[in-house]
Amino acid sequence: MVAEAERQRAEPIRPTFEDLHQHVERYLDEAQVAEVRRAYTFAETAHRGQSRLTGDPYIIHPLAAAVSCAELKLDVATLKAALLHDVEEDCGISHGELAAAFGEETARLVDGVTKLGTIPWGDRSEAPGAEAVQAENLRKMFIAMAEDVRVVIVKLADRLHNMRTLEPLPAEKRVAVAQETMEIYAPLASRLGIWQLKWELEDLAFRYLDPEQYRRIARLVANRRATRERYVEQLRRKLEDALAAEGLAADVKGRVKNIYSIHQKIRKYAKQGRSFSEIYDLLALRVLVQRKEDCYNALGIVHVLWRPIAGEFDDYIGNPKPNGYQSLHTTVYWQGIRPLEVQIRTREMDREAEYGVAAHWSYKEGDAGRRPDEERIAWLRRLVDWQRDLSGAAEFVETLKADIFQDQVYVFTPKGEVKDLPAGATPLDFAFLIHTEVGYSCVGAKVNGRLVQLSTPLQNGDVVEILTSRTSRGPSRDWLNPALGYLKTQHARVRVRQAFRRQEREENIARGREQMERELRRLNLKLGEIEADLLRIAAHDTLDDLCQAIGRGDLSAHQVALKLATHALADEIPSGSEPLGQPARARDRAVTGVHVLGARNVLTRLANCCGPVSEDPITGYITRGRGVTVHRSDCRSIVNTAEPERIVEVQWGSAPGTHYASQIRIVGWDRVGLVRDVSTILADEDINMVGLRTDESGDGLVTLRMAVEASGVAQLQRVMTKVDAVRGVLSVERAR
């Protein structure tokens, strides 16, 4: 049986049209077979002269994809699309030409399958933007797939042949393509229920990702093949005879696990301290009957024949999986303690299980083809809805891997609707799956009628009820802490982060508006009267955007006000004013340092008491024998001076690269790592810390006084805003 499975996996690498013809003539009429032949002839002519890396004519590739689709008994439009899926990109055939020759439906399918972007699938190139392009390609593929699921079935067939012929690629390319196949395409085939493709894609990918383990398992399977086949044949006959004795017509088959499934089983057993020789359920029996009620009759016969293992029974007929899978699963003991898995289903259920969503596109006599019901691909519709809210293609792919292609648990709403979530998902994940607002207002949950914590992992079959509150203040930041285990799904985490981004924007706007209005009051200006001029000089589209930038620390309100102050009146601001972020250049400023108005070559120095930095409002004070000392205009030494006649007007000069000493006073809760976190922010902002003093108050608070060197007010304000956001910090201000 293993040899037979391996033989099937090995072909057809180089099919001929006769191989395709043998498949399609079994279920298509003569006119449709002729259509398939015409599409093959068109593709063969278009690709003539092109070769693959294997040295084979290029037509071998679309022909192999078409054979895989024919094995699934797909409709004629899909077969034609498989044969033609590369002619647009590789041969320059236009969509219009294809539509004219083979119909709009086929042309549309070809459009959906055509390789997207310029980077091949699985390319892990280090070229700038390569990962982003690849992620965008995957997103486009899933959006196209939601519109017509046949697109991705052809894509899976395309990937299958590429995996069968991967050997000529360089080693690193083989690993990259195999990794993507294992992460994206095999799970996708699983979600669509197309097990034939899933198993082969997994084995082919595993072969390149871990070749040593692949060969080891293949040898172990081969060495014990004869023994297992003898056992399964005995068990098969015994069960078949028991069913016949009860008058139940059934086919009983032995089933071989694929190599990657065995690998997973070995890893599971290794954690339990068990070896490969102790794995007796590598083979399973599958019972095929005619009617649904026969399934339950057969189950009773199996349990009379062999003792069932407690807790190892699943009824996917009464409770089908969201992808439509139906079957009874039970595990029994034979020869004492050896486990044997038995699957029981109708022949129609078996076809659905093997072909998955593809079964709904198969041709039937007198039927132009059925369409997949929406429930089977509800997860896909949901995924496409989510992608509209994600910030980029890379985040979309992470959501895809985290939420769609992990092992699933199936739970119920109180109304009995089945919902699927990644294994380990919590009631809070379930709440966000129902609706974003349900997640935001969630305050508790009941599982199977009992109150549970929101971080409780859900199990198959759980009935989940979400408790909400209209007065809820929204999501908690604890929900994003992975150590607390509230959220498993990427979708829920994205929604929570979006809520905090909105909240932070509103807070930043309010903070920035307050700072801007305070600075403008010093200039005797009102925000509402100069809004247009302010936006023009600050190079922002809206007042909210400007206030957000100020509140976030990207801009200083004082810097904005200083820019305005370089002009006599607001209506004199030129439309071509330079954006903020560069110091304003007044005509009469000195080239460097500080310029004393009305005098030249005057010695100046910065006052230690207030530590003015570039773009602070400043005032000069004539010091006997030491020139002019420059203070901040609000410095107490200036405001309370008894000799106002010694005050002179000064302005900042242009001194690129100059750094100014200043002091920051930080008050916060004393904790391990506080100084480290603040120092990291200073280093990231390229601010030099030249001194540090700490004072502990004894009530759990600590005061940090930092002497720093900054290039100006904007940089100092920005770093103070970031320090203010550090955990445990209560206040940040410039020390006087």
Q: Within 13 Å and on the Cβ side, how many CA atoms surround 255? A: 22
pLDDT of residue 513: 86
Of the chain, the end-to-end C-alpha distance in Å amounts to: 85
What is residue 644's DSSP assignment?
G
Return the amino acid letter for 28.
Answer: L
Q: Which residue spans within 66-179 are E strands per DSSP?
A: none
Q: Give the range among 142-151, 184-193, 636-645 with minimum mean pLDDT.
A: 142-151
Residue 696: pLDDT band (50, 70, 90) is confident
Report the 10 Å Cβ neighbour count for 441. Answer: 19
> Whose CA is closest to 726, among 662, 671, 663, 689?
671
pLDDT > 90: percent of the chain: 20
Question: pLDDT tens digits, residue range 630-688?
Answer: 888 888 888 888 777 778 788 877 655 567 777 888 988 888 888 888 888 888 888 88
Q: Which pLDDT value is given to residue 47?
A: 92
For all residues of the chain together, what is the average pLDDT?
76
Selected residue with higher pLDDT from 269 and 343: 343
Query: 718 with 685: CB under 8 angstroms?
Result: yes
Cβ contact 327:321 at 8 Å = no
d(CA 23, CA 59): 18
What pLDDT shows up at residue 299? Answer: 94
Written as one letter, the residue type at 617 is: P
Count of Cβ atoms closer than 10 Å to residue 700 Cβ: 11
Cβ(626)–Cβ(603) below 8 Å: yes
pLDDT of 360 > 60? The answer is no
**Best-predicted range by mean pLDDT (72-81, 256-265, 507-516):** 72-81
d(CA 231, CA 238): 11
The distance between the two most distant Cα atoms of the chain, rounded to a whole number of Å, is: 119
Higher pLDDT, 369 or 444: 444
Q: Which range is most confident: 143-157, 200-214, 532-546?
A: 200-214
Question: What span, in angstroms and rounded, lies between the C-alpha atoms of 2 and 7?
Answer: 8
Name the active-site residue from 89, 312, 385, 529. Answer: 89
User: Which of the two residues, 648 and 105, has the higher pLDDT score?
Assistant: 105
Average pLDDT over residues 40-62: 91
Q: What is the pLDDT of residue 256?
A: 67
- What is the DSSP code (8-state) at residue 456? P
pLDDT for 60 equals 94
Q: Which residues contact 574 (CB under 8 A, 6 or more apart)?
A: none
- Residue 364: helix, strand or coil by DSSP? strand
Q: Which of 19, 25, 44, 90 is catalytic?
A: 90
pLDDT band at 381; cut points 50, 70, 90: low
Percent of the chain with pLDDT over 70: 75
pTM value? 0.53
pLDDT tens figures, 277-308: 555 556 689 999 999 999 999 999 999 999 99
- The pLDDT tens digits for 597-639 are 655 556 777 887 777 877 778 888 877 656 778 888 888 888 8
- The pLDDT, as a whole number, for residue 651 is 80
Active site annotation includes 89: yes
Q: Which residue has the tokens 């805003």?
A: 721
Q: Which residues pair with 595 in a beta bridge?
A: 651
Closest CA to 65 of 137, 140, 165, 143: 165
SS3 of 309, please?
A: strand
Q: What is the structure's pLDDT at 362? A: 46
* Torsion sign (Cα): 226, 227, 228, 229: positive
How many CB atoms lie under 10 A from the CB of residue 467? 14
Strands of the sheet containing 442-447, edge to edge, are: 450-452, 442-447, 464-468
pLDDT at 281: 55
Model confidence at 382, pLDDT cuts 50, 70, 90, reads low
Mean pLDDT value of segment 516-533:
74
